[in-house]
Amino acid sequence: MLLEARLQAASKPAHNAALNRRILDALKHYGVSSVGFYWPLAGEFDARTAIAIWLAADSQHEASLPVVKERGVPLEFHAWAPDTPMKIGHHKIAEPTSGRVVIPDLLFVPCVGFDADGYRLGYGGGYYDRTLAAWPDSKKPVTVGIAYEACRTDALRREAHDIPLDLIVTEAGCYPHPAD
C-alpha cells in the first residue's frame, strides 16, 4: 500500500519540485559541507538534481552515495558527482566507482513510510539503522528522511534497533515539526 502511494506521489511533478526545494532548504539550514544520499529506486524521490545544484554552488561541497561492501555490514559512502562513473552493486543499485570513502555531515535517507515522530520504514534490510548504530557518536551525521506526504502513517511499529531521523521532509512539510 505504501509503495503504491509512493509511486503515485512520485509521478506528480509539483511534488518533486517541492521536494527539491525542501532538500536545498535543509542543506542551507544545516550548513554542511558533506552530504550522503541514495541512488533512487522505483518511486523514491530522485535527489540528484538538488544535490548537483548544491555541489555547483560551492567547490568545497562534497556528495557521496552508499556502497554495500557485503550484506549485513554498515554502508560505506563513496564520493559522487554528476559525472562520476557508476557500476551496478548489491541489490542491483548503482554505486560510484570513485572508491574514495566520505564521511557525510548530513545523510539523506529514503523512506517507504514514516511517522510524525521521525521513524521510517525502509525495505527491511536494516542497512541505514545498522550504519547509523555503528557511526561514532562524535561523527554522527544529521539524518534527513525524504518521503512523500502520502506515505505518512499515524505510528510505525518500532523495534529496539530503530533509530529516529532528525528530520523528514516531504513535498508538504517537515517532521517532526522543527522548533525554530
User: Do the annotations mark residue 124 as ligand-binding?
Assistant: yes
The alpha carbon of residue 11 and the mean position of all alpha carbons in its chain are separated, in whole angstroms, by 19
User: Do the annotations mark residue 173 as ligand-binding?
Assistant: no
Q: 3-class SS at 66? A: strand
Per-residue pLDDT, 19: 96
User: Do the annotations mark residue 126 as ligand-binding?
Assistant: yes
> How far apart are the C-alpha atoms of 22 and 139, rounded to whole Å?
24
User: Do the annotations mark residue 113 as ligand-binding?
Assistant: no
Greater pLDDT, 88 or 42:
88
Per-residue pLDDT, 124: 65
Contact by Cβ (8 Å): 36, 96:
no
Question: pLDDT of 84-127, one tens digit each?
Answer: 999 999 888 999 999 999 999 999 999 989 998 888 888 767 78
User: Do the annotations mark residue 121 as ligand-binding?
Assistant: yes
- Domains within the chain, CATH numbers bracketed: 2-105+127-175 (3.40.50.10420)
User: Do the annotations mark residue 120 as ligand-binding?
Assistant: yes
User: Do the annotations mark residue 89 as ligand-binding?
Assistant: no
When mean pLDDT is compared across 20-24, 123-127, 130-134, the lowest value belongs to 123-127
pLDDT for residue 7 is more than 90: no
Q: One-letter amino acid identity for 112?
A: V
Q: Residue 50 class from Cβ within 10 Å (0-12 exposed, 13-18 middle, 19+ buried)? A: buried
> How far apart are the C-alpha atoms of 114 and 145, rounded to whole Å?
9
